[in-house]
Structure 1
């Protein structure tokens, strides 16, 4: 069976881009767990659910269908109950609320079940905030990407502007700082490197450089 690869890190560290590239190079399936929490948050907001209703959101997670479909363009589309929500889940509103939803134990329990099932056959590159510590603690290859807050804010701001969203750098910086605080302080599977993870500071590295570094480590340790 092929190995699984876990890539964790805070918002804007580049883990999604790198994980996608690593999966492509290895011929593995890329699973963006953050997109799963975003899709559930989008659905809850669309239905007008109270984000303080932990029981209701946990039930929503249990009844929601989430799928990833690779497109010819190299992009992985995210489907929620059969609807393509790839763009909607990147909205500022979802970004501001997703950490609250992801911190709910019942929500994490339901989505982690799904994530582990997707990785059961091996050959998966999964990124998120707790993959190496909680979702796939037995993964033989674990990486934790980080970068300065300023650099992460600049990357996310540029991404949002390219999508046509009118946000300021300061708004994005504050949002990421708040997400860092929530993710690192949550009671269930907080954001932190696994003890055996390779920590990579991506502040001054391109995604391609990080990908090359990760692939070298994987090949040396496989």
Structure 2
């Protein structure tokens, strides 16, 4: 099996890039962020706050999360309900970063992720794939961009969806999430020593995809 691990901060374009790379290489795309978001949604629906650790852990242990692939597209299921769209809400994204610091939550999801990677050629993206989930991945990428660039991208996405938003607030949220992700006690976000750094601030999607495909071809 050939595994590609892509890490990086929120809004760096990891999911978009990983999906395209997986499709063009004929690999399975595993969006670990969606798995965490689905856990967060489960807690949110139950009225559980992110700082209620015991309740969060208990809910995550009972939640039935599964991944289905339809025409090569990953669908997230919560108790057999497709929640792929609902988990993309901003409130769920913020809650996700907050509950991801809890060890039992991470342990359950990492087990699922490793199982998928052991049986398939995968492109997996998240915050700690190369450093914790798949430390022996064949290719490790750390994809980043400036907080300003990431905020602009998110702002434009929300505008296209007709969502009223403020770019300064978005950038503040991104910086706050970066801080939480990089300073959490368990599996903090950081570049693996043997990961290739790609700063996409001045690159388009096609350029980033081609760079990763070249690296995979070279066996780096």
Name the TM-score, length of structure 1 as normaliser. 0.94
CA distance in 2, matches of 1:69, 1:6: 20
- After superposition, give the CA deviation of every residue in 1:38-82 in whole Å (9 maximum; x if it has no partner): 11111101011132222322232222222333344x643222111
Aligned to 2:37: 38
SS at structure 1 position matched to 2:135: coil
Name the TM-score, length of structure 2 as normaliser. 0.95
The answer to which of 111-120 and 196-205 deviates more is: 111-120
Aligned to 2:74: 76
Aligned to 1:132: 130
CA distance in 2, matches of 1:170, 1:27: 39
1:75–1:120 CA distance, 2 compared to 1 (3 A): closer
Q: What is the aligned residue count?
A: 220
Once the two structures are TM-superposed, the CA of residue 162 in structure 1 deviates from its matched residue by 2.3
SS at structure 2 position matched to 1:120: helix
Aligned to 1:119: 117
Conserved 8 A contact 2:7-2:143: yes
Aligned partner of 1:167 among 150, 165, 168: 165
CA distance in 2, matches of 1:161, 1:151: 15
Conserved 8 A contact 1:58-1:110: no
Conserved 8 A contact 2:42-2:60: no
Aligned to 2:183: 185
Aligned to 1:196: 194
Q: How does 1:144-159 map to 2 (within 5 A)?
A: 144-159=142-157
Conserved 8 A contact 1:61-1:111: no
SS at structure 1 position matched to 2:119: coil
SS at structure 2 position matched to 1:213: helix
Conserved 8 A contact 2:64-2:78: yes
The answer to which of 157-166 and 190-199 deviates more is: 157-166
Conserved 8 A contact 2:65-2:76: yes
Once the two structures are TM-superposed, the CA of residue 166 in structure 1 deviates from its matched residue by 2.0
Q: Structure 1: which 5+ residue stretches go unaligned?
A: none
SS at structure 2 position matched to 1:192: coil
Q: Structure 2: which 5+ residue stretches go unaligned?
A: none
- After superposition, give the CA deviation of every residue in 1:166-199 in whole Å (9 maximum; x if it has no partner): 2211121111110000000000000001110000
